[in-house]
Structure 1
Amino acid sequence: MHINKTFSEHLQQTGIPSGSQDKVSVPDSGPEMADPQVAVAPVVTSKLSAKAPEFYPSGYNQNFNQNFADSSYEDRYDSYLTLAEYVQDFLNHLTEQPGCFETEIEQFAETLNGWVTADEALQELVELIYQQATSVPNFSYIGARLCNYLSHHLTISPQTGNFRQLLLQRCQTEYENRDEATKGDEATRKQFHAFVLFLAELYLNLEIKGTKGQVTRADILQEGLRELLNALFSNPVDSNLICAVKLLKLTGSVLEDAWKEKGKNDMEELIQRIENVVLDANCSRDVKHMLLKLVELRSSNWGRVHGTSPHTEATPENDPNYFMNEPTFYTSDGVPFTAADPDYQEKYQELLEREDLFPDYEENGTDLSGSGEPYFDDIDDEMDPEIEEAYEKFCLESEHKRKQ
């Protein structure tokens, strides 16, 4: 695959930052309180004060929210010396409080539009976000969402490329080094794997608007992920294979759907390659187990159930999810069966008919609740689901032994 040319063509087509505390002394007891026969304890001096400033955890920027609440761009700039400080502070803020994305992203983009007015500034912005997304654990998802938002809301679009173009160019630099990276030392591979997972999040979250206004994913990233998987499986050490499993668990269903729409069988080829790795590769037993579980996940359509009916129209015949909220029972051998099982009603009825297996506490004069009512009547409606399931399993096993 000529990924360089494809990336270039795609880019052309899409255009696409503590105060001191008062000392308070506790006075000695007065002379009338002193006992000359007893040694006087040392005077205790406290450094605590009700007038002390508020405490903030290490790394917390107490001025950050105030800066964003101020509608004056000039005042905000006074709090930061450089664009890098401002952007890095916001990225750290999102890392610590990702839930603030929805409420603060619009104002962040507006501020950038007033600040990022040169090619160099846009390049710097892209690099800062890329580094955060590939070096800070768990930031790849929120980083991808941030990239998608900025790709649609940053107004600067210089000849060197708009935000999305520069972002994809930055990703291409890492992509081209994939074969060397998968063969590198542990630190090199770790950095490469972070890039792979960030690219996967970009594929899922980066929206491209077509000529007719339709929103699609970036096909170039789809092809790029396919080649990255090839590189990972070509060097089947544990860390590379774990990265491949994470990538496919994250994007497998979307990739397979996209390939099927194009009449391609890429996922079948990948699954075959995984099975070969399990048979031939010198990887750990745990990693082989992960690969087999991935194959099992894919065989169940990535855990999805298609063709469900609206709730009001659902029946056991037309909705495969119809029984999903019904309780699960187990045979004495540990085999689960649910309401979808043909024998469910019969077995469930047997459970109901076996109530005489348990003593009636009220009849025996045993009132554990102290309320004059049977104990189990009090807790029946509040039974924990796990306890209830264990209880039902016990009942089935008891019945099985009784019939033997």
Structure 2
Amino acid sequence: MHKAEKKYEVGKVTDEEQAKQRQLKGILNKLTPQNFEKLFEQVKAVNIDNVVTLTGVISQIFEKALMEPTFCEMYANFCFHLAAALPDLSQDNEKITFKRLLLNKCQEEFERGEREQEEANKADEGEVKQSDEEREAKRSKARRRMLGNIRLIGELYKKKMLTERIMHECIKKLLGQCQNPDEEDIEALCKLMSTIGEMIDHPKAKEHMGVYFERIKIMSNNMYLSSRVRLMLKDTIDLRKNRWQQRRKVEGSKKIEEVHREERQSQAGRLGRGMGFSTPRRTPMDFGSRGSSMLSPPNAQMGGLPNQIPLPQRSSGDESITLGLKDLLMSI
């Protein structure tokens, strides 16, 4: 274990550290699947020997993944290799790992995403008025980051950096508002299912998956949802029927300009439909007690309480990883 030479102090960043972060940013800005190995070696060559540098590189990778969700698989792969390559740090007799800081960042983004969506949806207060365009711009930004976060979490699970329990709790959270569902949550749910469905849909999770898809079927016929979202739900149902094999050719990596252009078109479409309704305040995720080998019931956040079902324990090299709203992955 490598002892950090410099103690982290909140708000204090040295000139040397700023130079490191600029160097890392320059490398990550050039990252593509084609030059992955070359640039990975360049990042490793940067002296990541303290918590400040480690936290900085994680934040930069995370921001790139959230703003460019098409490339989440590549960024998750980059995280997987960095977690294996970088030494653990020790500060104040506490073990600090790349994986722990990365997954704490996932937790922060979950909470931030909920705050931003609530902020965008709440009524105007006092003299502060928001135009429809300003409100939709906030929604669009929160939506983009949430979708990026969900997709990155799914890709990290596929790399066994997150446990199966976390995936089920994310699914239940996104399915929580069945009668008056939030379209952003549904879109995130469909994205997560398409990312991890093949891995998570196994016999020991049959009851959970059955409950999820009963809810998805109900929502796919909810005429209060846009036709785009209903079609997305039906596509997810069809994807499972087809054993999680895409019928259509999966899109390859896009240029960042194409990603941004599609987002602007999607935003214009949502403005055209109008946003005259507000969504209910979401209940916070409850990810159960740490260390339990039992997954909470599939209806725990959706009404009804069937018996708990044990899930297979798939080793990720760190079996103490769990998820909770306030202490997500803090037990690593």
Q: TM-score scaled to structure 2, two decimals?
A: 0.56
* Partner SS for 1:166: helix
Residue matched to 1:161: 96
**SS in structure 2 opposite 1:99?**
coil
Q: Which residue of 2 aligns with 1:230?
A: 175
- Greater CA radius of gyration, 1 or 2? 1
Inter-partner Cα distance in structure 1 for 2:188 and 2:177: 8
CA–CA distance in 2 between the matches of 1:183 and 1:280? 23
Aligned letter for 1:241? I
Paired letter, 1:149 = H
Answer whether contact 2:190 2:232 (CA < 8 A) is retained: yes
Please give the residue correspondences for 1:49-198 in structure 2 after superposition, counting only pairs within 5 Å.
82-94=19-31, 97-109=32-44, 111-112=45-46, 115-158=47-90, 159=94, 161-176=96-111, 180=115, 183=118, 185=120, 186=139, 187-198=141-152
User: 2:221 is paired with a residue of what secondary structure?
Assistant: helix
1: distance between equivalents of 2:28 and 2:180? 34
CA distance in 1, matches of 2:21, 2:177: 34
For 2:117 and 2:29, the matched residues in 1 are separated by 29
1:272-283 pair list within 5 angstroms: 272-280=214-222, 282-283=224-225
Pairwise CA RMSD? 3.0
> Kindly tell me: are residues 228 and 281 of structure 1, through their superposed partners in 2, closer, same or farther at Cα, counting changes over 3 Å?
farther
* CA shift for structure 1 position 98: 2.2
Counterpart contact for 1:179–1:231, Cα < 8 Å: no
Deviation at 1:139, TM superposition (A): 2.6
- Structure 2 unpaired stretches of 5+: 1-16, 121-138, 247-332
Please give the alpha-carbon distance, in whole angstroms, between the structure 2 residues aligned to 1:128 and 1:250: 23
Q: What is the Cα deviation at residue 181 of structure 1?
A: 5.3
Q: 1:233 to 1:135 in 2, by over 3 A?
A: farther
Q: Which amino acid aligns with 1:269?
A: V
- What corresponds to 2:308 in structure 1? none
Deviations 1:7-62 (A, max 9, x none): xxxxxxxxxxxxxxxxxxxxxxxxxxxxxxxxxxxxxxxxxxxxxxxxxxxxxxxx
**Aligned ranges for residues 5-404 of structure 1 at < 5 Å?**
82-94=19-31, 97-109=32-44, 111-112=45-46, 115-158=47-90, 159=94, 161-176=96-111, 180=115, 183=118, 185=120, 186=139, 187-205=141-159, 207=160, 218-231=163-176, 236-257=181-202, 260-261=203-204, 263-280=205-222, 282-303=224-245
**Residue 155 of structure 1: SS of its match in structure 2?**
coil
Distance 1:189 1:195, change over 3 A: same
Q: Find the residue that maps to 1:301 and give its secondary structure.
A: coil
Structure 1 residues 235 and 204, CA, compared in 2 at 3 Å: closer, same or farther? farther
Find the aligned partners of 1:232 and 1:100 in 2 and give their Cα distance.
42
Residue 180 of structure 1, CA deviation: 4.7
When the two structures are aligned, how many residues end up with a matched partner? 211
